[in-house]
Amino acid sequence: MLNIVRVHDAEIPTFMDMVELDESNSVSAGISGGPNNIGAPPGNIGNTLLGMVSSVTGTASISDQPIAKYVPLSGFSLTQQVSTPISLGAIAKFTNSSWPDSTLFYYSFERLTPAYLDFYRALDTLLALDSYGSITIESGPDYQLTIIFDPDGNLRTPGSNWRKTLDAQGHALPCVPPGNSTVTVRELWAKFKAIYGGGPGNRLILTTVPGKGHGFAVVPRSALGALKEAETDHILFTDPETAGAIRAANDENECNLGEFYFVPESSVPLANYGSAVAALWTQYFDAVYSHNDASQRARESFRYLGTRRSYILVEESATQPSDAYASVYKDGRWYSISTSDRISKQNFALLSEILTIQAAPISNASTTPTTIAITH
């Protein structure tokens, strides 16, 4: 959380590595004794029954305390851990752990499509296919990822991300296209493959190593590259009131996908966030379900909608929040993620996992064990 704030403030993030784990043991023992009832003659009753007596007591204790040593990563170690691009094999394994595909791809790829303006168009078409349950992602070599389309395995209606199929007046929502779902997903798959040059088949292979006759290769981000999104509004720093208005406007919209928030232009008053967000969701689904529209206008529409979404809402306040899922204090301000903000928590956890999976050990060196001798 602190690194997100540091990157947002154009400061260098700090990564720590545990270089040594030692164990400190200590053993202590003691013995004491002495006479009691000194000068008392033996008697018949009371404490002086035996006259003067002697006693001996002993004590022993053992303590075990681990000692961890941390150092800031720098130079080669930093490059190896947080500047190395994420492997496509790791990305595929993330999808098999039920992380949201579209958000994962957003964090993981610097370049996803041959045409730069098709980045969000590909993400949003992929999300629509995934919501119908019609694609799976298969892992292979670390330089390769395969997206598999299954037209017969799709859901009859979109998945649980869409809450309703009708609004309060009984009208169809723009996020649920009319007609046969099998036809819909086939059109979406054709649109998705066309972004990469088209061709028959139900498989699309993404690779970082272009093969013969293929000049395009995807470019994955590094863990540090994913963290750098804190410099953009995709990780939005705002006050609690605005964050609450963004959540309310998206949560009340039946078309909310549950992977990101749409955020209105800064000129829109908070009171109008509901209608502004609804208009963005309508525009979003109009763009997704436009049949294979690859015009410059369509690409720019996807690009605009891409700039209006936020994956994590970071709330700034002068006082410590009482309901924070994660929080940090820096330069006189508190920065937090609300515990009631499911989308931000989910995406914060995903970003944390990406940073963690890249923090692989760079050597198998072990520390020298500590030997403690006890003399009797």
The two three-digit tokens of residue 42, written as one number? 């033996």
First to last CA, the chain: 51
Q: Express each pLDDT in 276-300 by its tens digit.
A: 999 999 899 888 888 667 788 888 9
Q: Which of 36-45, 71-80, 310-319 comes out lowest in average pLDDT?
A: 36-45
Task: Please report where in the chains the tokens 């395995």 appear, as a residue.
Answer: 153
pLDDT mean over 99-128 = 90
Residue 50: pLDDT over 70: no
Mean pLDDT of 7-32: 75
| Helix residue ranges, H only, 200-315 | 223-227, 240-251, 273-288, 296-307
Higher per-residue confidence, 47 vs 60? 60
61 belongs to a structural domain: no
Q: Is residue 27 part of a domain?
A: no
**How many other C-beta atoms are found inside a 10 Å radius of the C-beta of residue 300?**
11
HSE-up of residue 104 (Cα within 13 Å, Cβ side) = 23
Structurally, the chain folds into a number of domains equal to 1
| pLDDT, average across residues 45-68 | 65
Domain that holds residue 278: 86-358
Strands 333-338 and 324-330: antiparallel
pLDDT of residue 64 exceeding 80, the answer is no
pLDDT tens-place string over residues 138-156: 888 888 999 999 887 666 5
In a domain, 41, yes or no: no
- The residue type of 254 is E
Residue 359 has pLDDT above 80, yes or no: no
Max distance between CA atoms of the chain, in angstroms, equals: 113
pLDDT for the residue 215: 65
How does the average pLDDT of the chain come out, rounded? 81
Average pLDDT over residues 314-338: 95
Its pTM stands at 0.77
Continuous segment of H or E residues that includes residue 333 = strand 333-338
Instruction: Name residue, tokens 């800064």.
Output: 266
Within a domain: residue 246? yes
Q: Is residue 239 part of a domain?
A: yes
Choice between 130 and 308, residue whose per-residue pLDDT is larger: 308
pLDDT at 268 over 80: yes
Q: How far out from the chain centre does Cα 247 lie?
A: 18
Q: Is residue 24 part of a domain?
A: no
Domain membership flag for residue 101: yes
Alpha-carbon radius of gyration of the chain: 31
